[in-house]
Amino acid sequence: MLTIVAFLVALGLLIAVHEYGHYRVAVACGVKVLRFSVGFGKPLLRWQPQGSPTEFVLGAFPLGGYVRMLDEREAPVAPEERHLAFNTQRLRSRALIVAAGPVANLALAMLLYAAVNWMGVQEPMAYLARPVPGSVAETAGLRGGELVHNAAMGDEALNPVRSFEDLRWLLTRGALEGTSVQLEVEPSPGALRRTVVLAFEALDTREADARLMHHIGIVGPWTRPLMGEVMPGGAADRAGLREGDEVLRIGTTEVVDGQQLRSLIRASVRDGQAVSQPWRIARGGQTLTIDVQPEVQQDQGEAVGRIGAYVGARPQFTTVQYGPLEGLWSGVTRTWQVSVLTLKMMGRMVIGEASLKNLSGPLTIADYAGRSASLGLTHYLTFLALISVSLGVLNLLPLPVLDGGHLMYYLWEGVTGKGVSDVWMERLQRGGIAVLFLMMSIALFNDISRLFG
């Protein structure tokens, strides 16, 4: 139920803001707006304020909306109202009205990001877990336990890293853009800082998913390798492990953090059989050695080890909060960065350098809406900001059925002094619909593959 409510609230808000952008600028330009609708199909709710020419409608089908304006191309217009019709407006006014929808979504994203910055959020500190073996991070010399103080892409000046989420975003941008990232790290408390360069130029970034962070090698923040709650009768319980035990070594491998400990447990299977290994643990000031044999379980068709206990302590958290101007500027910057990265990824998908699996549809959006809402208000607002950016950027693409397509027509009109002919308009509309339908089909297929595959 939470997923459905969160999804509908997200859709309703983002569509309403988009259409309100068109509506507000149209009214400011002197255009008569006949209907403002959030949703399509049969009206569930309709009202018209006294003295207003606009009917406001809530439609039954929520995936979209529209603003219907007086227009001679759609219906006859009385001579005395011709100056109120959209098609009779100056080119600049028409372009502003069309661009206002996507711009409203981008402005909303800025405000949402800023709101999260002002509210403050608890995030893990930028302590690094043990890198994935063979990854970019391990090759660069990271070993786990380092605290990242500052970072930068390419040759840019180093900037403070406030949290692990800050670091994750910077690493994602660097990897997807093929740009190296500098990290200024403190190897251990009080140690001299050193600079590490993660070289992403040769990294395979066709898919922006969990595997990308695996290739980078930094999949989560550092946590102490402690045993949490031990399930009665499980492998950990049978071996004599207790809650609070700190794991120092498994076999001959030194254990640095909880993420590495979980990976070692998963990998403790040979030819479908669990492998018993000596665990070196610290308990109550003493060091003990205990033989542990995990149980074999299936995880998506793969045999992995499980011990029947929670593994790894909570990461160290910090409160990330910005002042009024700093928070607003950070919101503007994040919106710009997400917009640029979205356009770059779309461009790479067109030329075949990125996988079409990166496209997401309504099922994935609904899933993430529910997950973010369950984590709290700030996570949900961040999700809304990301989707608002995506909606704004998507609508600015030069596809005839989208706002960007209409802007493309107006650009042609501005350059040539005449509008696109009806014949070409119809051809381009058909082509745009075909491309949009193809994108939606791919996105829906990806949704089904992710959620039910």
With contact defined as beta carbons under 8 Å apart, do 241 and 225 qualify? no
Express each pLDDT in 32-44 by its tens digit: 999 999 988 888 8
166 vs 28: CA distance, rounded Å: 40
Rounded CA-CA distance 207/211 in Å is 8
Give the pLDDT band (50/70/90) at residue 380.
very high
How far is Cα 259 from Cα 314, in angstroms, rounded to an integer? 11
Residue 133 has pLDDT above 90, yes or no: no
Q: What share of the chain is helix, strand, coil (3-state, %, to 5)?
A: 45, 25, 30
CB under 8 Å to 38, separation ≥6 — which residues? 12, 15, 16, 19, 57, 58, 59, 62, 65
pLDDT value of residue 106: 97
Q: Is the dihedral of CA 249, 252, 256, 258 positive or negative?
A: negative
Nearest Cα neighbor of 148 from 158, 139, 156, 157 is 158
Contact 215, 206 (CB under 8 A): no
Angstrom CA distances, 271 to 252, 292, 301, stand at 20, 18, 14
3-class secondary structure, 119: helix
Q: How far apart are CA 85 and CA 81, in angstroms?
A: 7
Of 19, 123, 146, 184, which one is the catalytic site residue?
19
**Cα gap 138→130, rounded to integer Å:** 8
Report d(CA 99, CA 93) in Å as an integer: 10
Distance CA 313, CA 226 (A): 6
Per-residue pLDDT of 174-191, as tens digits, reads 888 888 999 999 998 888
Asked if 19 is an active-site residue, the reply is: yes
Q: Which domains does the chain have, with CATH numbers?
A: 89-120+323-453 (no CATH), 121-222+315-320 (2.30.42.10), 227-311 (2.30.42.10)
pTM of the predicted structure, to 2 decimals:
0.85
- On whether the CB atoms of residues 449 and 363 are closer than 8 A, the answer is no
Bridge partner residues of 111 (DSSP): none
Q: What is the DSSP string of 63-75?
A: EEEEEEE--TTTS
Give the tens place of pLDDT for each residue, 403-415: 998 899 888 888 8
Distances in Å between the alpha carbon of 422 and those of 48, 93, 405? 34, 21, 15
As a whole number of angstroms, the distance between CA 297 and CA 234 comes to 12
Identify which of 366, 354, 325, 391 has the alpha carbon closest to the alpha carbon of residue 448: 366
Residue located via tokens 């380092």: 146
Q: pLDDT, tens digit, for every residue of 344-363? A: 888 877 777 666 676 776 77
Residue 442 has pLDDT above 70, yes or no: yes
Q: How many CA atoms lie within 13 A of 447 on its CB side?
A: 15
SS3 321: coil
Range 364-373 average pLDDT: 78
Task: Give which of 203, 213, 157 is closest to 184, Cα–Cα.
Answer: 157
